[in-house]
């Protein structure tokens, strides 16, 4: 087998810059949706808030990390397409070009997973490939004219399957339970079946989707190393706190789908979406940035206690948003809690940049991290 060629760091920077642009535009769109008194851009960013955050930002980060892990320069086409797709959405709204670019990114990402599979097949990689397929399905449905709200099950499967696959890999290292993979395949199948049912039978499918989400959450709660490392100190404990908090929000989304069924707008829609994409996904990104940044950019991001501040603001403000804003109908509280959500994300980004710049020595992550680190899941 030929040795992979390292992707130069300077080639990774444009994709990372487009991911940052998608994040900022997505957060701005979120503020517009909250009704905050800020200038409205000429493009209806509110219509592309979800795709910008999930595919333009998170998708680009995941695709970039996978390209680096593969070590093939052609693989950078995946984060390039998703990053450019995000920029096109910012410039033009929900245009055909933006949708096609996002869908193309998922196709290249599937090619990356195929190459990784030939190198070392496994159930964990299969789950991540299933996540890439879910990205493709969501983009294809959006391209076919489905509203963003009806693509949410597949967007959710994209992030959940990717993260769960990486957690499975760590479970192999630490827990060695004889039925770990068997149960994992079962819950992954339930999750995919739920997303499929939600598209084919939108009135009843979301109940099955919720059951699949709860099954994945149960697997994570039983097999994930976080329930052991939460008793550690420093970075391992910080990571575990973020993981377990994120799993709690994922469980809430599962309950809302299982008990409430289909939802495409209103307070329950807001609570379900942000439980997954803020409470779960952003928590994953927060706690694993100290590993991701050195792996992707070879820039250090040392752990510091200050990182708990944006994490605490994220979960506290989301709890207020869901509990008092969505559930109790307190619109003003909901709005200000949403603004605090945005502030938490921006403050974490500020902390990460400051800590990275303070650390002068270039970071070279451990061998396994360089090979297998992924967004929110190391």
Q: The tokens of 208 are what?
A: 């099955």
Residue, of 174 and 177, whose pLDDT is higher: 177
pLDDT number for residue 294: 83
pLDDT tens by residue, 111-131: 999 999 999 999 999 999 999
Average of per-residue pLDDT across 134-160: 97
DSSP assignment of 8-69 equals PHHHHHHHHHHHHHHHHHHHHHHHHHTT-S-PPPSS-GGGGHHHIIIIIIIIHHHHHHHHHH
Query: DSSP secondary structure string, 240-300?
Result: HHHHHHHHHHHHHHHHHHHHH---SSHHHHHHHHHIIIIIIHHHHHHHHHHHHHHHHH---
**Whole-number mean pLDDT of the chain?**
91
Degrees (nearest 5) of the Cα angle 101, 84, 70?
A: 80
pLDDT above 50: residue 35: yes
Extents of the domains making up the chain: 8-121, 122-378
User: Which has more pLDDT, 176 or 179?
Assistant: 179
Residue 116 to residues 89, 171, 295, Cα–Cα distance (Å)? 30, 20, 17
Mean pLDDT, range 74-99, rounded to an integer:
96
Is the pLDDT at 367 greater than 80? The verdict is no
Length of the chain: 378
Tens-place pLDDT, residues 245-273: 999 999 999 999 999 999 999 999 999 99
Q: What percent of the chain has pLDDT over 90?
A: 79
pLDDT the model gives residue 179: 78
pTM for this structure?
Answer: 0.92
Where b means 16+ CB within 10 Å and e means fewer, 69-91 reads bbbbeebbbbbbbbbbbbbbbbe
The single residue listed with the structure tokens 């502030």 is 343
Q: What does the pLDDT read at residue 174?
A: 58
37 pLDDT more than 70 = yes
């Amino acid at each position: 087998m030929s040795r992979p060629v390292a992707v130069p760091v300077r080639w990774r920077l444009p994709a990372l810059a487009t991911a940052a642009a998608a994040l900022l535009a997505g957060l701005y769109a979120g503020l517009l949706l909250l009704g905050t008194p800020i200038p409205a851009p000429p493009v209806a960013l509110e219509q592309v808030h979800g795709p910008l955050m999930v595919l333009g930002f998170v998708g680009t980060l995941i695709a970039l990390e996978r390209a680096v892990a593969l070590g093939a320069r052609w693989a950078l086409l995946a984060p390039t397409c998703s990053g450019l797709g995000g920029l096109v959405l910012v410039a033009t709204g929900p245009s055909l070009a933006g949708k096609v670019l996002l869908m193309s990114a998922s196709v290249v990402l599937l090619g990356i997973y195929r190459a990784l599979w030939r190198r070392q097949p496994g159930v964990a990689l299969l789950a991540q490939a299933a996540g890439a397929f879910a990205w493709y399905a969501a983009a294809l449905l959006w391209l076919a004219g489905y509203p963003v709200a009806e693509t949410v099950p597949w967007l959710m499967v994209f992030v959940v399957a990717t993260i769960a696959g990486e957690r499975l890999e760590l479970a192999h290292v630490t827990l060695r339970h004889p039925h770990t993979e068997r149960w994992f395949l079962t819950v992954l199948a339930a999750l995919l079946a739920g997303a499929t049912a939600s598209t084919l039978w939108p009135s009843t499918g979301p109940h099955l989707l919720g059951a699949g989400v709860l099954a994945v959450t149960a697997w994570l709660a039983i097999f994930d190393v976080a329930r052991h490392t939460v008793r550690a100190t420093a970075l391992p404990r910080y990571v575990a706190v973020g993981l377990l908090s994120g799993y709690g929000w994922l469980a809430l989304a599962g309950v809302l789908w299982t008990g409430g069924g289909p939802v495409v707008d209103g307070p329950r829609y807001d609570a379900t979406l942000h439980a997954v994409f803020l409470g779960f996904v952003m928590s994953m990104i927060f706690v694993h940035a100290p590993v991701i940044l050195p792996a992707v950019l070879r820039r250090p991001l040392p752990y510091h206690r200050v990182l708990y501040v944006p994490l605490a603001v994220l979960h506290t403000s989301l709890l207020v948003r869901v509990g008092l804003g969505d559930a109790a109908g307190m619109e003003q509280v909901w709005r200000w809690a949403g603004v605090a959500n945005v502030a938490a994300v921006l403050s974490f980004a500020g902390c990460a940049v400051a800590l990275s710049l303070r650390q002068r020595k270039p970071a070279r992550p451990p061998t396994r991290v360089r090979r297998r680190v992924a967004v929110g899941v190391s």
